[in-house]
Amino acid sequence: MSSENKKKLFIKTYGCQMNVYDSHKMADVMSTVGYELVDDYANADMTIVNTCHIREKATDKLYCELGRINKHNKKNNREMMIAVAGCVGQAEGDEIMRRAPYVNLVVGPQSYHQLPELIAKTSHKKSERIQLDFAADEKFDSLPAETTQSGSSVFLTIQEGCDKFCTFCVVPYTRGAEYSRPAADIIAEAKRMADNGAVEITLLGQNVNAYDDGKSRLTDLATKIAEINGIERIRYTTSHPRDMDDELIAAHGSIPELMPFLHLPVQSGSDNILQQMNRKHTAEFYLEIIAKLRKARPDIAFSSDFIVGFPGESDKDFEDTMKLVEQVNYAQCYSFKYSPRPGTPGALREDTVAEALKSERLAQLQALINRQQNEYNKKFVGKNVKVLLDRKGKYKNQIIGKTPYMQSVHLTTKLESFGNIVDVRITEMHANSLGGEIIDIKKDNIAA
Ligand code: SAH
Ligand code: SF4
Ligand code: F3S
């Protein structure tokens, strides 16, 4: 089909990296029925909004975006099909249809492989809300092997869903029970990605280190993926402290492709709050894992997620969080004010923390985190580090690369050898990135 005959599809993605992966997969499915991706809804024949339900603000964004698209369509007298996918689609499909009746289609994260047939059924005048059973195996089996995901750094979903039921979190309800894809399928997909130019693969799962297909665990996968020609870097996210087994910890010392950076969310440093969050481990247990990982791979850097103002969080509980952050010394962190989510046990609690106090604690925590991040980055100035040239920057001749430790490095160079890992001398640091100069291009690092 020539490009003029193709229908135009715009996908707007919110939420986590798994949603980014899903959006690529939706584009893959839609390309089998003649849709090509465009980067704006202005001229699209169809828009998919891939949504996130994790915090109230994330959900609000959906309704703003839908309102904007509808206004644009009305003003320009356009008939564009609008679909809502992702976790809000799963959690509140009926609500979406009620609040935004111009939406044609709602699909959950486990049913987007059915998009072509759903679209065939849905006329512009009739809405469909198709859901929403959790058949992850069926989804992965029906997705096309070819992928639109390109570039040197790619995502690969290996595990989906969550059985942990932390009392603040919607994910077990929106993504269903834990499901691990068969290792052979994952390796095959990783090989195709390498053939497409991938140098760095990030393995994704809501509980990625709980991966278990009955035969292989995450360490087995990492070992096999490290052997694939062209793959130089492997990462995985998001891990749960309870699933950090000794084998995986040891792998950080023995598999050089496993990058020395780990996102290991702890949420709180207070045993009392951890228990009420149903995290099923203590602060001490977490600190022990961090110590073991540092022993296996001394240069490993850490990041975490934190929630402040969970119901019942006292000043003492919050101090324990600050203390834990001091003890770990993170390279970067994400922190959020607790947001009560419908259907979760936390939302039923009456001992809520006042919004102003949440804001105060968040500011205090973020000041500490920023200080640690700055101190961490400062140590790199004047040093050489391996940087994967990843993508174009905003400015002319600017390239953005990534260090093994997940720092973005901004480089000014005419050289456009994306996918190369080069030696860079770090010359400066900015708020969230580093700046530097390429000092060497190693030919043997050029991806095949
Ligand atoms: N599976 C991951 C986290 C997935 S959600 C884990 O176990 O850690 C990503 C992050 O969003 C969480 O780590 C948490 O910090 C934050 N989050 C989840 N629910 C939240 C809520 N109700 N309010 C505020 N932050 C929340
Ligand atoms: Fe949510 Fe907890 Fe599952 Fe992570 S482990 S996805 S925070 S329920
Ligand atoms: Fe959001 Fe769903 Fe991911 S709720 S964080 S898009 S799993």
CATH of the domain at 45: 3.40.50.12160
Residue where one domain finishes, among candidates 118, 135, 152: 135
- CATH value at residue 240: 3.80.30.20
Residue 364 and residue 413 in one domain: no
Residue 174 and residue 287 in one domain: yes
Distance between Cα 277 and ligand 2 center (Å): 10
Residue 349 and residue 366 in one domain: yes
Residue 257 and residue 291 in one domain: yes
Q: Cβ(169) to ligand 1 under 6 A? A: yes
Give per-residue pLDDT as tens, 243-297.
999 999 999 999 999 999 999 999 999 999 999 999 999 999 999 999 999 999 9
Residue where one domain finishes, among candidates 95, 116, 135: 135
Element (H, E) at 186: helix 183-195
Assign 135 to helix, strand or coil: coil
Residue 237 and residue 101 in one domain: no
- What residues flank ligand 3, with Cβ below 6 Å? 15-16, 18-19, 52-54, 86-87, 170-171, 174-175
Residue 256 and residue 304 in one domain: yes
Is the pLDDT reported for residue 442 higher than 70?
no
Better-scored residue on pLDDT, 442 or 58: 58
Atom of ligand 3 nearest to the CA of 206: 7
- Binning the chain into helix, strand and coil, the percentages to the nearest 5 are 40, 25, 40
Let me know: does 134 contact 177? Beta carbons within 8 Å: yes
Residue 374 and residue 390 in one domain: no
CA distance 39 to 18: 20
Distance between Cα 19 and ligand 3 center (Å): 7
Nearest CA to 408 out of 422, 423, 387 is that of 387
CA distance 52 to 58: 6
Read off the amino acid at residue 301.
A
Residue 159 and residue 130 in one domain: no
Mean pLDDT of the chain: 92
Give per-residue pLDDT as tens, 48-76.
999 999 999 888 889 999 999 999 988 88
Residue 311 and residue 349 in one domain: yes
Confidence of residue 132 (pLDDT cuts 50, 70, 90): low
**What does the DSSP 8-state code read for residue 400?**
E
Number of folded domains that form the chain: 3
Residue 303 and residue 247 in one domain: yes
CA distance 257 to 397: 29
Let me know: does 181 contact 218? Beta carbons within 8 Å: no
Distance between Cα 263 and ligand 1 center (Å): 12
Residue 148 and residue 68 in one domain: no
Let me know: does 258 contact 225? Beta carbons within 8 Å: no
Residue where one domain finishes, among candidates 135, 157, 186: 135
Residue 194 and residue 229 in one domain: yes
323 CB neighbour count, 10 Å cutoff: 13
Task: Provide the residue range defining the domain that includes 397.
Answer: 384-445
